[in-house]
Amino acid sequence: MTHNPNLLKPPEHVSGLTTLNKSLFEKTVTLPCLVIKDVKISSVLPHVKKFLLKLDNFKPVRNISENEAHIYLNPDLVTRWSDLSADTPLLTESNLQMQTCTLTYDNFSLESVFRAVLPPQIEGTSSFTKVGHIVHVNLREHLLPYKDLIGQVLYEKVPNCRTVVNKVAIIDNTYRNFNMEVLQGDNDMLTSVKENKCVFEFDFSKVYWNSRLCTEHERIVTMVASGDVVFDVFAGVGPFAVPLAKKKCRVFANDLNPESFKWLNHNLKKNKVASGCCDSYNKDGKDFIMNEVRNLLPGFLNTKKVYILMNLPALAVDFLGCFVGLFDDSELVQEFDAPVVVVYCFAKGENCEQIAKDLLFEKVGWDISDKIIDLFRVRTVSSLKEMMRIRFKLDREILVKSGNQKRKQAPESGDLTAKKCCVF
């Protein structure tokens, strides 16, 4: 048998389909097969397991009769008897035969279907995310002619999917939600997600959620210790606030979006967060910093470890000026353990770490390299665009007004909320 790299791929004639026709995916192939008679399958399988043909909805081991079984092997790994392990017991070269099988649409993976259907000069679909029962895609313009097929394939091949939606515009409003169209399935945007041993429920059409940030949420929740104090400036529906409050941190969580605020409170109750562990606010980020953070922070200095989370990468750095000169000298004790700011931003360019630093320095007003704890690349958003996390110490030099200190004026709330946000 000659190796054919296209043998297990969908047939070439499905290229360019815009409407799914499953019958066109049928393909007759000739596969290597171990035909065993009067031999127990259990005595053979351990020796050939790594060679089994693994396709969706395909059984590589089939009982033909009481005394006969067929074991289908991967043609990319086995083309001749010598490709098998030399110590395969109870079998000889005569047991390896070629068998004809018909592959169908159900045997091909989601990825292989998309690679086969979309013309070679067109990129594959943008990666999808799953939010509960909802599969979310962000189709670029050149993929829109294929959106119906893409929606149907995702609906059928992503486990437990009931709705496929496509984002039809960038996130261009204050509340970070976006317009979407249902490509396939139910128009049901109320969904539930499990993360960090918590359950989050929300209306996906009215709030922001990104399942790709699950690992980052977990990193921060792990980093903060029980009993620490957390100001979550852009809390959303609570991916940081809820698990942190649940581990007995003292959390002050804020979000401007009334829907996010509603679902944040819902999720606190849903996860049985103890009373007094989390206070929630529905304010602009600047107002939250200039009031709640300003009023509450002095009481925790030198008594608690304090973190200020700013997870709004398209805009968060623009709020850093609010911390500069937030207090008069007499309002803070002379010596204190500096709170830690955890701020996210987008870095567009080749040197993402330096770009992130430059953004930080610009918004604070001077080079604060000596205050940076670390920089971390959270994830790649697109070519030359990274989501970055910066941790730095919010020390006295930043917090206290000083006539000879190089300060940046805190921005107006309207200047911040009117800007466009981008999906991350």
Residue 159 lies in a domain: yes
Tokens at 142, concatenated: 């050149």
Which of 49, 71, 103 terminates a domain? The answer is 103
pLDDT surpasses 60 at 417: no
Closest CA to 240 of 386, 131, 343, 377: 343
| Residue 351: band (very low, low, confident or very high) from pLDDT cuts 50, 70, 90 | very high
pLDDT reported for residue 181: 92
Q: How far apart are CA 265 and CA 114, in angstroms?
A: 40
Shared domain check, 338 and 273: yes
Domain that includes residue 161, residue range: 118-192
pLDDT reported for residue 403: 42
Which of 161, 192, 223 terminates a domain? The answer is 192
Question: For residue 270, what are the contacts with CB-CB under 8 A and spacing of at least 6?
Answer: 199, 200, 201
**Cβ atoms 307, 229 nearer than 8 A:** yes
Residues 272-312 pLDDT 10s: 999 999 999 999 999 999 999 999 999 999 999 999 999 99
Going by the DSSP 8-state scheme, the letter that residue 38 receives in this structure is S
pLDDT surpasses 70 at 127: yes
Closest CA to 412 of 318, 304, 273: 318
Shared domain check, 90 and 59: yes
| Residue 124: band (very low, low, confident or very high) from pLDDT cuts 50, 70, 90 | low
**Class of residue 25 by CB neighbours under 10 A (exposed 0-12, middle 13-18, buried 19+):** buried
What CATH number is given to the structural domain containing 184?
A: 3.30.300.110
Summary count for the chain: helices (H), strands (E): 11, 17
Does the annotation flag 284 for ligand binding? yes
pLDDT surpasses 50 at 345: yes
pLDDT reported for residue 180: 87
Tally of domains in the chain = 3
Residues 234-269 pLDDT 10s: 999 999 999 999 999 999 999 999 999 999 999 999
Residue 5 lies in a domain: no
Residues 8-27 pLDDT 10s: 999 999 999 999 999 999 99
**Model pTM?**
0.84
Does the annotation flag 287 for ligand binding? no
pLDDT reported for residue 174: 56
Residue 94 lies in a domain: yes
Residues 301-344 pLDDT 10s: 999 999 999 999 999 999 999 999 999 999 999 899 999 999 99
Shared domain check, 214 and 141: no
Does the annotation flag 133 for ligand binding? no
